[in-house]
Structure 1
């Protein structure tokens, strides 16, 4: 973790993985604007002090990738913030719970494999949700935050695809993805989760192989990220150019 990574991380009392995507450089040496785009774990854990600090960021919209049950269990309403629900159900937890219910032994290797499958699922089964995400980023120029429960998988894939579109190099994208391991702290009540501790240790972290599983699928089935975003997500040249104009500093 570098000093710059610490700078992009915004510490709150109840929310641990709130980060600014600003400052990353693109292939043509432009930089993402600061204080425009944030990624986070669930905002329902903000404390009163957090809400005061959050209001200073002047974020007007939140994109919530949590599934229906997750959002219902930990809902939030924040003054002057428009919450936009784009649910992607957490199938890996459902799969693990089903395996445990049928008497299967669960271990870290099983969890790791299911996490990789989850990322492959983002590629093939969640195009509509991620297109909705891009549409909301395009909707206006106000600052926004996008999040799920931990801010690492559904949120991580969204961040990776957006940074790819803007022209950030793959190594930097992976470094941003892995920052979750430095900052995310599972909420206290998660300690009572029925899944085994070694399984939870996989679910609460990210590894390069999770995201690489998505990249491999994109390369194999779509011929690369550019074609995936254009043909599968549906972002035409005008949308891509508008995103760059909105989110990148002008070229020097």
Structure 2
């Protein structure tokens, strides 16, 4: 099974269809309905045509307000952008690490851990907004993205796959696929030490699991309660979501 299904582009990377991943009841995520990616700010005209072929109706932008304003997305006609901002929270601390010669990759991971825990708790409302859109078939096909398509987008995909009944192993397999699909076209200062750059640009499965665990702990300590209280997916709405997105 060759998953995930990547969509090659010239001016962007890490765009893939979440379709095909298996879930617990023997079904699979439908193809052609739900996509994730890195930023769409540098799409070429050919890329815009490629994305138009996906028949996107909704593009959920998880970038912070300033990020999105500085690098606006290029979208095909018929695709509406919906802002669900998750503000980056590591900028000032990261700049401090860059200035300290003794900083290590472990320092960066510790910083990212704080950000991931924020994504799963303080910013859960953005992901709840994503599920609201997914429950409306008029919004399909839908793509969600941040800057790298790795951290904020990675947790979004993890929450969607978890809600659909995917195993933690499947969730992590989708997450780490970024390491081979993302071209790491994220601009870092040229003097960034290699260990810091590798930590910033790589995936961190332990951090994703920590974010999922924190989201569960903040909403009753279990996946069903997280889905209902944190993400607005009571039994009826969860069943509808699965009928819409699974086959």
TM-score for both structures, normalised by structure 2: 0.91
Change over 3 Å in CA distance of 1:158–1:245 after alignment to 2: same
Deviating more after overlay: 120-129 vs 158-167: 120-129
The CA deviation at 1:192 is 3.5
Partner of 1:116: 113
Change over 3 Å in CA distance of 1:236–1:104 after alignment to 2: farther
Stretches of structure 2 that go unaligned for 5 or more consecutive residues are: none
C-alpha contact 2:120 2:155 (8 A) present in aligned 1? no
Name the count of aligned residue pairs: 244
Indicate yes or no: 2:10 matched with 1:13: yes
Stretches of structure 1 that go unaligned for 5 or more consecutive residues are: none
Partner of 1:87: 85
Indicate yes or no: 2:122 matched with 1:125: yes
Counterpart mapping for 1:166-245 below 5 A = 166-187=164-185, 190-192=187-189, 195-221=192-218, 222-245=220-243
- In 2, the alpha carbon distance for the partners of 1:228 and 1:195 equals 38
Indicate yes or no: 2:53 matched with 1:56: yes
Indicate yes or no: 2:37 matched with 1:45: no
Change over 3 Å in CA distance of 1:107–1:49 after alignment to 2: same
C-alpha contact 1:96 1:106 (8 A) present in aligned 2? no
Change over 3 Å in CA distance of 1:77–1:49 after alignment to 2: closer
Superimposed CA distance per residue, residues 182-218 of structure 1 (whole angstroms, 9 cap, x where no aligned partner): 111122x715456433222111110211112113324
The CA deviation at 1:180 is 0.2
Change over 3 Å in CA distance of 1:178–1:12 after alignment to 2: same
TM-score for both structures, normalised by structure 1: 0.89
The CA deviation at 1:15 is 1.1
RMSD over equivalenced CA pairs, Å? 1.9
- In 2, the alpha carbon distance for the partners of 1:29 and 1:231 equals 26
- In 2, the alpha carbon distance for the partners of 1:167 and 1:216 equals 16
The CA deviation at 1:220 is 4.3
The CA deviation at 1:24 is 1.2
